[in-house]
Structures are given as C-alpha cells and as structure tokens.
Structure 1
Amino acid sequence: MSLLLLLIACLLTCLGQVAQKYAVESWRGADSSWADKLRTPWLWVALCALGAGLLVWLLVLQRLDVGIAYPMLSLNFVIITLIARFVFREHIDRRHWFGVALVLGGVALLGQHA
C-alpha cells in the first residue's frame, strides 16, 4: 500500500509539473494580464494535482521512513524525462538517459527495503 501511495504521489506531482508547462506555454506570446493568466485551466489543473500530490505525500510519510520515501521521488525525473521526450518531443541525450537508468537502479534498490 505504501508503494502504491508513493507512485500516486509521483504521478500527481508529474501531472502538476506538466500542467505548469502547458499553462506557461499558453501564456507565451499572449499579451494578457495576471487576471487572465489566473483563469488558465492548465494552471488550475497544476494547482489541484500538486495539492493532491502533497496530501498523498503526507500519507506516504506516515507509512515510510523519509530516508526511503524521499529518494524514491526521484522517479519524477524518470517520468518527466519520458514525458519531455514523447509528449513535448524534446531531445534527450545519452548522458541524460544514463542518469535515468541510474535513478531506476537506485529506486529498485530502495524498493527492496520498503
């Protein structure tokens, strides 16, 4: 159950980060006021996802040691890298992929203790 909650916290956080990207992209080139920017749906998706992610994260911290839980949030780097590559069509170099592989290895090692 703890690992499932951790995965949900990661996914909500990633959703929030992607929604932030979409929000600022929608502002690009637009001469809009802050009031207009605050009405951007993607901004509200980001706020809701990040808020929900925070609440789930608090549940995770009740169940797992912070020394195990927090490093496992590095899964966010993996998920966001995949989204950057396949959704935003960003170039990811070999060194970055190697870092992703190292993160996955570390998460696998930590997951054995959780």
Structure 2
Amino acid sequence: MSWILLLGACLLTCLGQIAQKYAVLHWQGRALGGWAKLKSPWLLLAFGSMGAGLLLWLLLLQRMPVGLAYPMLSLNFVFVTLAARWLFHEAVDARHWAGVALIMAGVALLGAQA
C-alpha cells in the first residue's frame, strides 16, 4: 500500500507541474488579468493535483519513514523530464539522461532496502 501511495503522490505532483506549464503556455500572447489567470483550468488542475498529491504524501508519511520516502520523490525528476521531452518536445541532452539514470538507480537501491 505504501508504494501505491508513493507512486500516486509522485504522479499527482508531476501532473501539477505539467498543468503549470500548460497554464503559462496558455497565458502567452494574451492580455489576461490576474483574476483571469487564476481561473485558468490548467492552473486549477495544477492546484488540485498538487493538493491531492500532498494528501497522499501525508498518508504515506504515516506508513513509511521520511528518510526513505523523501528520496523517492526524486522520481518526479524522471517523470517531469519524460513529460518535457514527449509533451513539450524539449531537448534533453545526454548528460541530463545520465542524471535521470542515476536517480533511477538510487531509487532502486533505496527501494531494495525497504
């Protein structure tokens, strides 16, 4: 159950980051006031998913030591990098991919410890 909560918290946080990116892309080239920006569906999705991710995180901390759980949140770097590449067609160089591989190796080492 803890691993499901962890994955859910990571994915919701990643969704929040992606929604934030879509929100600012939606704002570009438009003369929107502050209130119109706050009512953006993408920004509301970002708030909702980040809030839900926080709630899952709090549930997770009841079941898993923070010293193990917190480093696992680094999976967000992996998910956001993949989203940046596939959804936004951003360039990701070899050094960045090497960093992603090291993060995944670290998560695997920590996960084997639990």
1:35: which partner in 2? 35
State how far apart, in whole Å, the 2-side matches of 1:111 and 1:66 are. 13
Q: What is the rounded CA distance, in whole Å, between the counterparts of 2:99 and 2:110 in structure 1? A: 16
Report matched runs for 1:7-22 at 5 Å: 7-22=7-22
Unmatched runs of 5 consecutive residues or more in structure 2: none
Partner of 2:113: 113
Task: Give how far 1:38 is off.
Answer: 1.3
> 1:71, CA displacement in angstroms?
0.3
Quote the residue 1:65 is aligned against: 65
Which residue in 2 is equivalent to 1:97?
97
| Residue in 1 that maps onto 2:78 | 78
Gaps of 5+ in 1: none
Amino acid at match of 1:102: L
Q: How many residues align?
A: 114
Distance in 2 of aligned mates of 1:54 and 1:113 = 24
User: Distance in 2 between the 1:39 and 1:60 partners?
Assistant: 31
- Give % identity: 63
TM-score (norm 2): 0.98
- Cα deviation, residue 56, structure 1: 0.1
State the Cα deviation string for residues 50-102 of structure 1 (Å, max 9, x = none). Answer: 00000000011111111100000000000000001111100000000000000
